[in-house]
Amino acid sequence: MDILLKSIFAGQPKTVGSKMAANLMEREWTSGIFKEPVQGSIWVGKTGLTGDGQADLEHHGGLEKAVFAYSFEHYTYWQKELGNSHIAEGGMGENFVMEHLTEEMVSIGDTFQIGEAVVQVSQPRQPCWKPARRFKTKNLALLIQNTGRTGWYFRVLKEGYVEEGQSFMLIDRPYPHWTIEQVNNILHAEKQNIEELKKLANCELLAPKMRTTLETRILTKEKTNIRDRVFGPNEIN
């Protein structure tokens, strides 16, 4: 079955909401999650797609997070699970909507030719509070994390033009055992497995910042508190 680039999304950060809203989920916020469908071909550069941008450059964007990919198949799940038909393609802020490729099928270091570009899987997305704010579902980031439907990032090895409907051709798979599903399981396990963390931290094609985070967890034996990431200002006034 062909792995397809079903659709492409890009866009600049937007500010929405009201500063004085009583409901925290209605407060003003700025995010690059609001992206628009791309028609025709688009340039994929080392740090992302032409016309695409992020509001929080500390946690998004850059060489290791140049392109965010999400599986089209997940949207049926979210619509049924949450009863929200508005959670549709592009809703998670992804650039590439992937068809026939999910987290258990793709691994760190997987390298694909797509159109003129060559992209390589660098890490899973660690969901934050912004999808929850967008869809007014406070625990959505936690659900994304706990179900493993996180999506993943590509680094760009070769720049070039791509367009929707093109096939992804796998040209290298150096770490088939380090699927995004497996990495998520290790990262978010209730009880940390230090030996597994060490093995994952040694994966040379895992994004450097994530490797550093793992090394810190190994040294301290402490798991990062995720509450600020998954709930953030959605629960703190």
Cβ–Cβ < 8 Å for 187, 124: yes
pLDDT at 236 over 80: no
Number of Cβ within a 10 Å radius of residue 227: 12
Give mean pLDDT, residues 47-63: 86
Confidence of residue 66 (pLDDT cuts 50, 70, 90): very high
Instruction: Calculate Rg over the CA atoms of the chain.
Output: 17
Ranking 35-44, 138-147, 224-233 by mean pLDDT, the lowest is 224-233
pLDDT tens-digit map of 32-44: 999 999 999 999 9
Q: What is the pLDDT of residues 109-142, one digit of tens each?
A: 999 999 999 999 999 999 999 999 999 999 999 9
Question: For 45-59, what is the mean pLDDT?
Answer: 88
Cα-based torsion angle of the residue sequence 205, 156, 57, 90 in order, rounded to the nearest 10 degrees: -110
This prediction has a pTM of 0.96
Band of pLDDT at residue 224, cut at 50, 70 and 90: confident
CA angle, residues 233, 11, 226, in degrees to nearest 5 = 30
Assign residue 34 the CATH number of its domain. 2.40.33.20
Tokens of 77: 């799940």
Q: What is the mean pLDDT of residues 75-94?
A: 96
What's the mean pLDDT in 135-156?
A: 96
pLDDT interval class at 86 (50, 70, 90): very high
pLDDT (tens digit per residue) in 1-25: 799 999 999 999 999 999 989 999 9
- Mean pLDDT, the chain, whole residue set: 94
- Residue 1: predicted pLDDT: 73
- pLDDT for 221 equals 80
Q: What is residue 60's predicted lDDT score, i.e. its pLDDT?
A: 77
Number of domains in the chain: 1
Mean pLDDT of 157-165: 98
DSSP-based helix, strand, coil % in the chain, nearest 5: 25, 25, 45
- What are 13-18's contacts with CB under 8 Å, separation 24+? 13/53, 13/54, 13/55
Structural domain boundaries enclosing 206:
3-234
- Residue 237: the pLDDT is 54
